[in-house]
Structure 1
């Protein structure tokens, strides 16, 4: 059994796991649930993130926080880098490459970037440098590792922009993107207690109509629908991956009236929360 590659100092933590078909069990499960995660996934892997299934056709980087991850198959060696906010969160320096930057929480729910062969080789070398630092355990390792993590995120952020901005998937001018990134960040922080567009417009220092118009003008889902989507996603996670009863799920998501939550869930998904949990647990899969 290989030595665990991990850095820990007071509240700061970062670790690296190499895995392949033989040891997928080391990745699947809940042990990394609260960590920020970057996965280097070669072609041929299949994985489920929350309720979406991915077949990896090109080497890709996946960026996850509290999503539920299950890796189902894959042959070549893959890499999981995991860390907490105390180790790396530089929001005050550059929002785009922070722990709440473009890659980890965005309204388009695109948690990965595809890499060319050259990019994949460069990124894999950065992971190798991190592995070396973790093995050497030098006194300067922490700062060196943080530098390599930042390089991975910067390279991936550039790729994400190239692949998802001003193209057929998402048509958002770079000059307009701050508002969407900030909305995503606030939504991730506040979705349990703030359910109205006006709440987020206030955080963004604009009128609710202005915020809604910005989304509409770019043919994006409305802020109201995105708020509902985020609440429903969390509801599905709690229903499937925990033993919480429906009433407790409703309270957890900020609904004092469980009946109202039940009606909202049923109206938007076509299933009551109880039926959703029962059907999914019995093997019926949904496409969201």
Structure 2
């Protein structure tokens, strides 16, 4: 069964300076109920997010959202593991927008950014102040909120700027992802999402292509495949039961869809996963 990690009761923010000699906290894949930032300070390693492998190299900062499957294969010499609850961030529009923009790229392009030496110095100072305040017996939560929001805001400076996407995110596309997360098992037609966004089907697909380089249907299929892999890898449920859970009444149709998209059948994926993890 896939472990779901939670922060201790009452903890809104946790900052760990992890060394390779400490060993991997979780040798098995797991999910978080919180946001996590992995900032590699030195050395090289590797990890996977939703079954996609990524390098852990010095200067790279990864963003992992609640619910994603995270698996650290090899720790680098040193990294910061920063875990926080969404309630740490103020509910005002500007603060919530920062959170959305920082983790937006996680779903649209590459789930990491790279910082230079100047950025490292500034961000380390912020983390040091935050760590000191967290360890204080009279910790000021309001100050923690302000400092950590500043930390996220500073990170935004290092988000890559692409000429083919707008400089500011379209809130409708963030809402689109949220809608897909909620309805991917029962609503696979772009018309449903277009209606929810008060847009035409053609327009919502144009925006989806602009921001994600994928159509709405492709985004839905991507979500289905990720959830299918999670259940195939971490449950003993039959392929038939999984296909029903994902909204497919015909298991043969689901299996054909899965194989066409991934190049292997659901059964083959499960077999290969257990063989590689054993």
Distance 1:13 1:218 in 2: 31
C-alpha displacement of 1:201 = 1.4
Q: CA deviation at 1:228?
A: 0.6
Structure 1 counterpart of 2:119: 119
Does residue 209 in structure 1 map to residue 202 in structure 2?
yes
Q: 1:49-68 alignment to 2 at 5 Å?
A: 49-65=49-65, 66-68=67-69
Q: How many residues align?
A: 269
Q: 1:124 to 1:219 in 2, by over 3 A?
A: closer
State whether structure 2 residue 163 is matched by structure 1 residue 173: no
Superposed counterparts of 1:80-91, under 5 Å? 80-88=81-89, 90=91
Q: Which consecutive residues of structure 1, in runs of 5 or more, have no partner in the other structure? A: 1-5
What is the TM-score with the length of structure 1 in the denominator? 0.80
Q: How does 1:238-253 map to 2 (within 5 A)?
A: 238-253=231-246
User: Conserved in 1, the CA contact under 8 Å of 2:57 and 2:76?
Assistant: no
Change over 3 Å in CA distance of 1:155–1:191 after alignment to 2: farther
How many Å apart are 1:217 and its aligned residue?
A: 6.3
Task: State TM-score, norm by structure 2.
Answer: 0.83
Correspondence 1:1-288 to 2 at 5 A:
8-9=9-10, 13-29=12-28, 33-43=32-42, 44-65=44-65, 66-88=67-89, 90=91, 92-98=93-99, 100-104=100-104, 106-140=106-140, 142-160=141-159, 163-166=160-163, 171-174=164-167, 177-216=170-209, 220-283=213-276
Change beyond 3 A, Cα 1:223–1:40: same
CA change 1:24–1:68 in 2 (3 A) is farther
Match of 2:3 in 1: none
Deviates more, 1:89-98 or 1:108-117: 89-98
CA contact (8 A) 2:29 2:72 kept: no
Q: 1:152 to 1:217 in 2, by over 3 A?
A: closer
Equivalent-residue separation in structure 1 for 2:58 and 2:78 (angstroms): 14
Q: What is the distance in 2 between the residues matched to 1:26 and 1:69? A: 12
Q: Given the superposition, is the C-alpha separation of residues 184 and 172 from structure 1 closer, same or farther in structure 2, using an over 3 Å criterion? A: same
- Conservation of the 8 A alpha-carbon contact between 1:45 and 1:56: yes
Indicate conservation of the 8 Å contact 1:14/1:87, yes or no.
Answer: yes
More deviation in 125-134 or 254-263? 254-263
Deviation at 1:264, TM superposition (A): 1.6
Taking the aligned partners of 1:47 and 1:115, their CA distance within structure 2 comes to 19
RMSD: 2.9
Q: CA deviation at 1:272?
A: 1.6
- Check 1:244–1:7 CA distance in 2 against 1; reply closer, same or farther (3 A cut): closer
Aligned equivalents of 2:263, 2:122: Cα separation in 1:
45
Q: Secondary structure at the match of 1:22?
A: helix
Distance across 1 between alignment mates of 2:244 and 2:71: 27
